[in-house]
Structure 1
Amino acid sequence: MDLNKELQKLEQVQMPKPERVLTMYLNTDLADPEQQGGEYKIHLKNAMNNFENYLQESGDKDELKNFRALRDDVEKYMQRYEQDLSKSIILFASTDGSIWTALPVQLPVKSEFHWEESPVLDQFKELKKQSPKTGIILVQQQNVKIVEAQLGALEGTKEYELDLDVEDWREKVGPHQANPSMGSGGKSPQKDLFDDKFKAHQHRWYKSLAPTLDKMAKDHGWETIYLVGDKEEAEDIQSHMNKPIHEVVNKNLLQYEEHKVIEEVAL
């Protein structure tokens, strides 16, 4: 999702009665001491009940009808969301169906709910500023992995591997396979030969990959880019890229699970 375009769209929303917009920022982090018993479910239920009671007292039957229909949709969504909880959930939804933006995020939010003619965007804007669209490029010799994140949550992953037979990069599909040049333990003559060959041609091979990385950064709207890996290898790729690099991180995280990479590098 392009959050810049989504934000621009949400800023234009103005619903006439009896239509309204529900704004929900909900902390669902089970690692939070205040959430150990799934207290977010109580917060959600109480907020929905408060809105419904208010509308019943107001006597606006059309708005109450609209709210109840939207409440049903939100509660069904939350049942699905609970199968794979993130730290927080941000949701903007209108009763006329024109707005439905649900964002599971790996960042803390202050739980709050609003029922108004327009979405309440303050927290959303602040989180977007704190955690921009990010591309994390992990490099380890002939393997390069790209992890994309937005609001601290995983957006996508791609992997490239240098095919030494044709001396060109190819996108990897399927599960990762061990480097055939590596032995079962320690150094080997085959590994030494591979290292020597890679070092001899590293500059040229990384130069050929750099345009692919630049294009991905442009097409996917990366606002921040990290290069992660051996300092020499990461800086070699950086020297060939046109896009500015926010930081070079001298760590070997290629085999880390993607969410751990994001936590280690970008949060």
Structure 2
Amino acid sequence: MRIRCFSRAGAVVGVFGREGEGPGEFSGPPGLVRGPDGTVGAISEDRLTIFDPTGVMVSETKLPIAYLQPSRTFGKTIHGQHFGGAAEVTPVEMDVATGKILWERPGLDSEVNTECNSVALGVASPTGGWTFPACQRELVFFHHRDDPTPTIILPSHYAEEFPNERDIAEIENRNSRSAFRLDVESYRRTPKKNHLRYRSLTYDDHGRLWVATERDRALSSYLDLYVGTEYVGSVRIRDRLIGYDLYRSTFVALVERQPDAAGIAWRAVDWYDIERLDIN
């Protein structure tokens, strides 16, 4: 269980950790977060381990919460979410050096009036709030993280779209490797959610909210952009989006290419320069 860091050209920059339970080791695939000065944070169970860009361990902190779903970045503090009672999402902020909880907000599901009375994994906003995707198509904006009630919007451009053959193939492949199987025929008849299932939201350096969507994802993938709570446009990229990150003027996408003659959709990383993206 090792993490390999590659440059854009494909050269190995650093190798991080190994499988185990000791310092700098992981009991399972860790969650990765980007830190200052090129550092990388790895969260495995209840530990945050920080490495420098070459793979040397810098520090390790025991966290009071196991299986934290971390934000994409950290500094002196780290934001994330964990699942409380009844699988309810609880956002949290912790001190990186000590692991101390500085802020958390349990009970969100009882405070949001969404179509399904819950929210999915969200993201802290650069202005001190939190934003969550919810249910089939909603976005939930807490303009300040302690606001008693949020602003909830329904994207005006949302249109029902049913799973395509690549979506169905993904579910069938997942079913073949898991004891928790989804009914394929029921899935086929159910409209897709507007947002990706995992880590669909992030904010860029201009304060714009990016939302990775489920639209198409056969030949192309789409991300919606918002300024405040206003939809301002969409970005289309090639191939099937699996995950992404934003760093300054660079957008990085983990994608699946089109299936080859053997039916294998190889994964790749695409880099985009968004400095001249005029959507605001």
Pair in the same fold by TM > 0.5: no
Larger % of helix: which?
1
The structure with the largest alpha-carbon Rg is 1
Greater length-normalized contact order (CA 8 Å, ≥ 6 residues apart): 1
Tell me the TM-score normalised to structure 2 length. 0.22
Hey, which of these two has a bigger chunk of strand by percent? 2
